[in-house]
Structure 1
Amino acid sequence: MTIKVKTEKDLPIAGATVRLNQQLLGSTDTAGVLITTNEKIANQKISVSAIGFKEKTLSLSNKPSNNLISITLLESTNVLDEIVVTAGRKPESISTIPSSITILNQQDIQAQTNITNNLATVLGNAIPGLGTSTNKATNSGQTLRGRAVLVLIDGIPQSTPLMNGARDLRTIDPSVIERIEVIKGATSIYGNGSGGGIINYITKKNKDGKKISGQTILGTSINPFDPKETLGYKLSQQLSGQVNKWSYTVSGSADYTGLQRDSDGLPLGQTDGLSNSYQYNGFIKIGYQIDSSSTLTGFYNYYGSTQRAKYISKNGIYVSRLQLELEEKNQANPQVHLTITMRC
């Protein structure tokens, strides 16, 4: 049975809600069409409603011979008042909420990952108020508005105050992220640990309805001014699809970051840094569509990072430039002795 919903000007109405005897049948697509397998249409009541239109109810005495029901909705003159959705435990006025929201879509993420695959650096460059990355494997000290931030993947916290490894910003590969939602301002909706705000990674899901589709990413990085030992690479493969009511997304990636150098070309061998580090990520997400408005989803994410540094940091002795010049003069002419006394 096909139900078509249109306006008085014969234009399709997308997203119209169709009910059979007050039980939800589904919503119309972009063409204003809803196809249902329910054949018990005779002697039933069909109700159709859509935003901006008056609700209409039809009583069908017989089943249509061509299996097509065409319903025309009239525009409504009623105007909705302002609607405020508060992500908290009590209603609040929008004028008194200190929080603000920033959303990075997939295009924003791809633009940043063309420069670096380090999510901590991507977020530090793209989100106002978030501290810049220290180019280390941890995000220790990278705060949001000067306070700790809680990182989520599909609404699941990646650490707690009692078990915080300070690595939650980098626990997933950027290629499996659909968008990043950032809520600035303290909130307790997800528990303790979000004094500065929340960063929520929303992972990808299959939307095109194909049984199988994929994406392969090959990339490389190098320091063009001091290229020695700085060559890095990335390989990522992603597959997704939908079979009947089941949908899946599977992804795997391997990333190597070469030696990092400072502006003078000197190697950066800091402990727990990104130089000569290997990152591996495995991700799988499976969903089951219960009905048109409900989906059951489960996912597993593995992320591993290992540093095999060729250089390490070593404590030295601080010597001023003046002392070095004096030592060089003394070595060149041992008979000359110079004493400098400084008084404050």
Structure 2
Amino acid sequence: MQKMNWHIAGLLFLVAHKLCAQNPSLVGHVTNQESNQPLTDANIYIPGTTLGTITDQNGQFILRNIKAGTYEVVVSCLGYHRFKQEMLIREAQNEFNCSLKPSNNTLGEVVVTGTGTPHHLKNAPVQTELIDKKLINQIGPSNFTDLMLGVSPSFDFNPGAMGPFMQLNGLGNDYILVLIDGKRMYGDIGGQSDLNRINPLNIERIEIVKGASSALYGSEAIAGVINIITNKKSPKNAITTQNRVGSYGEWIMHNNLDLHIGKLSSTTSFDRKTTDGWQISPYESDGNELVETDAMTQNASKDYTFSQKLNYALSQKINIYLLGSKYERDVQRPLTVGKYGYFYSDFSYGAGAEYLLRKTNKITLDWNSDRFKYYYKYNQTSGDYVAGNLSKQTQQLRNALNLKSIFKLSDHHLLSVGGEYVMEELESEGRLPEETADAYTLALYAQDEINVINNLSMVVGGRLVKHQTFGNAFTPKISALYKSGNLNIRGTYAKGFKAPTLKELYYHYEKRGTLYLGNPDLDPQTSNYYALSTEFIVNQLSFSLTGYLNDVKNLIDYQTTETSDENLANGITTTRCHYNINSAATKGLDFIFNANIGAGFSLGGGYSYVDAQNQTDDIPLEGVAQNYGNVRIGYRHNWNKYRLSANLNCRFQDEKFFDDEYGNAKAYNIYKLTTMHHFTNWRPFSFDVSAGIDNLLDYVDNRPYKSHYGTISPGRSYFISLLINVAK
């Protein structure tokens, strides 16, 4: 037996040795040219291959499994000029060190969401708004809602019992496509995306494309696309843990483990969020009276997400991946408010491959499956249920297969072509006519990026959609960029298409005496989007101004209809049914600016004017304000092994229109102070400490429960966060 153990151990050693055997590698160090300080998260990649990595907290990197030969090595980093150098890679280990020159803006950053192909931000023909890691850290957000309100005036969120309802330039969550690392986030709560699944501690950057993007992304992309890109994997074996604690029982955790074994890379993460919730008024409206209530404005909740991704480099041209994620969220209501709370569960998984044909030509194949479930979780005995029991209300399933190819036809044409198959299923006992419903969509799309002349580039594309229920639709898009010195001018026309969801068609439920009904006679929604923008960059100042019109036909909303005698006898007082608004439109202006003042100080922010109208009934769209804005001032300074960042942020907006007895939501101004302290050169450890104060002036809208709120902030609150990274 002992001899056999030795044989097994020897075999395992040989396998491990084989796995860890390396082709030539490239190691090096990236620093700031002016201060000679190491640069963290600088990108090092070899164009035309799948090889790429980032620097660690000490500015070091390693690129493994490179075949011997001559390559162009590219180094880029946020806030610095890009560096390129041709290099001969020999057998064994090769060394490559470089210093990057600081840049006064982020316009050299590479974005992909607007065209599906990489472009530097300043050269992207489709206007893209970038929220980078530096700005995210300045805000110090507690959740995705807090982050977007702090950085983009174009976004707003209407509070809801199950979660916040997002808006972009006056159109709601149903018309905004949310991607995580390019993959669609699926599953909704109350008809809105479950934004609690997004942990702000795990966000590296966010790319936003406003307006109809159905040509490239299909349904749901009438208002725009948000692509959330999670933290980059470490080039070394590394462990990262970050914990944030704050007022009202807030605890947010992000843990990440990166491992590299030969050609195999593994990223494992675990996220957890909890809050005790809060109440901003002990009263609620009951007709013309106020009655006491234990209902929470923000319910107590806890959730966790476990995810795993594996990458294997078959060669320098072929890369394959597997990924999976499990999410659960438990929302608790007081015993005196309801017999149950809400419980959500999501399991998603996928696989894909990328094959690089030449330097810019490639083929990708992706398959993803997502199963989202919604339950009642009982907190007391009720009928056949006891405390802790789950009662499934709905299950949503989506399977998607996407094939895409990119070909550089010439120096003036980059062609993207692809196809997509999507199958959606909805299951709900007692809430659907036949307990299940399904629909499939087939799509073909093509896009050509054209360099017309040196200063003029265009993107022309379209998607042909075949929907199981609603037949065929074609959605074209054309964008153009003209560059003249420090001035960029962009123009866009795009057609949007959105089929009614299975819930909008068939789903019905009752809530507080109101019956909500689906409508199988709904028509698809279409839009015509027009935008014109100017962007000016000079020295340490950049700003952009965009005017837009999104003309939507057959917008889906609820309308109040007659309640049947049978429903009245069963306690139903109001019936609301989905219907099409024949004509609606949002139009407005977006202004964004950033400036480096000097002496470590910076100034930034923006303003958004929105005119959102139900043109059929000649009233504003509900839940939309006209004026939104952000202003922030920051300070940043390095002292050898220590860096300080401080930021003061203000969010302001005016009142929001609602056409019911509860009236409009109030206007508000909220200020936030965030400080971040970064400690380096404690190898192999690095530390970041963040601390701050939310709602500095202690503003609270303490109107009765059920009122429409602009913000549900409980008042002044505090937080502190610690990040520890160990890389070896």
Task: Mark yes or no: TM-score above 0.5.
Answer: yes
In 2, the alpha carbon distance for the partners of 1:284 and 1:310 equals 33
- Cα distance in 2, alignment partners of residues 37 and 50 from structure 1: 12
Gap regions ≥5 residues in structure 1: 6-13, 59-63, 72-82, 222-230, 319-344
Query: Over alpha carbons, which structure has the higher Rg?
Result: 1
- 267 and 102 in structure 1: CA distance in 2 versus 1, 3 angstrom threshold: farther
Q: Of 196, 220, 237, which aligns to 1:193?
A: 220
CA distances 1:87-107 after superposition (whole Å, capped 9, x unpaired): 3599xxx99967432324265
Q: 1:199 to 1:270 in 2, by over 3 A?
A: farther
Q: What is the letter of the counterpart of residue 303 of structure 2?
A: Y
Q: Distance in 2 between matches of 1:32 and 1:177?
A: 21
Assess if the C-alpha contact under 8 Å between 1:280 and 1:304 holds in 2. Answer: yes
| Of 256, 272, 281, the match for 1:239 | 256
Output the amino acid matched with 1:179: R
Partner of 1:260: 279
Are 1:144 and 2:168 counterparts? yes
CA distance in 2, matches of 1:25, 1:292: 6
Name the amino acid aligned to 1:144: L
What SS does the corresponding residue of 2:280 show, helix, strand or coil? coil
CA distance, structure 2, for counterparts of residue 233 and residue 122 of structure 1: 16
Contact 1:185-1:197 at 8 Å conserved across structures:
yes
Q: In 2, Cα distance between the equivalents of 1:105 and 1:164?
A: 31
Are 2:128 and 1:100 equivalent residues in the alignment?
A: yes
Indicate the SS of the match to 1:125. helix
Contact kept in structure 1, 2:251 and 2:273, CA below 8 Å: yes
Structure 1 residue corresponding to 2:306, chosen from 277, 283, 289:
283
Matches within 5 A, 1:111-126: 111-113=139-141, 117-126=142-151
Is the CA contact 1:249–1:286 (under 8 Å) kept in the aligned structure 2?
yes
Identity %, equivalent residues: 20
Say yes or no: does 1:249 pair with 2:268.
yes
Q: Is the 8 A contact 2:53 2:235 kept in 1?
A: no
AA aligned opposite 1:138: G
Match of 1:127 in 2: 152
How high is the TM-score relative to the length of structure 2? Answer: 0.29
Q: If the length of structure 1 is used for normalisation, what is the TM-score? A: 0.56
Distance 1:97 1:18 in 2: 21
Q: Provide, for residues 30-74 of structure 1, a one-character-per-residue CA deviation record: whole Å limited to 9, x for no partner.
A: 999977686xx7xxxx4444679897999xxxxx9x978999xxx
Tell me by how many angstroms 1:302 deviates. 0.5
Secondary structure of the structure 2 residue equivalent to 1:278: strand
Question: Structure 2 vs 1, CA of residues 101 and 243 (structure 1 numbering), >3 Å: closer, same or farther?
Answer: same
**2:226 matches 1:203:** no
Other structure's SS at 2:148 match: helix
Q: Structure 1 residues 102 and 15, CA, compared in 2 at 3 Å: closer, same or farther?
A: closer
Question: Distance in 2 between the 1:201 and 1:84 partners?
Answer: 12
Q: Which residue of 1 aligns with 2:206?
A: 180
1:215 corresponds in structure 2 to 241
* CA–CA distance in structure 2, aligned partners of residues 295 and 169 of structure 1: 29
The separation in 1 between residues aligned to 2:206 and 2:193, in whole angstroms, is 17
Equivalent position SS for 1:143: strand
State the partner residue of 1:157: 184
The structure with more strand, counted as a fraction of residues: 2
Query: How far off its partner does 1:279 sit?
Result: 2.5
Q: Contact conserved, 1:206 with 1:249, CA < 8 A, in 2?
A: no
Corresponding letter in the other structure for 2:305: G
Q: Is the 8 A contact 1:246 1:288 kept in 2?
A: yes
Aligned residues: 263
Provide the aligned C-alpha RMSD in A.
5.1
The code of the aligned residue for 2:331 comes to: T
Counterpart position of 1:168: 194
Matched residues in 2 for 1:206 and 1:180: separation?
16
Residue 301 of structure 1: how far off its partner (Å): 3.8
Q: CA offsets, 1:267-323, max 9 Å, x none?
A: 9999996523213122212222314563524131414141313675999xx9xxxxx
| Residue 129 (structure 1) shift | 0.7
The verdict on how the C-alpha distance between 1:26 and 1:282 changes in structure 2, with shifts beyond 3 A counting, is closer
In 2, distance between residues paired with 1:126 and 1:99?
17
Q: CA 1:16 to 1:255, structure 2 compared with 1: closer, same or farther past 3 Å? A: closer
Q: Is the 8 A contact 1:17 1:50 kept in 2?
A: yes
SS for the counterpart of 2:136 is helix
Q: Distance in 1 between matches of 2:258 and 2:179?
A: 25
Write the letter of the residue equivalent to 1:182: I
Q: Secondary structure of 2:306's partner?
A: strand
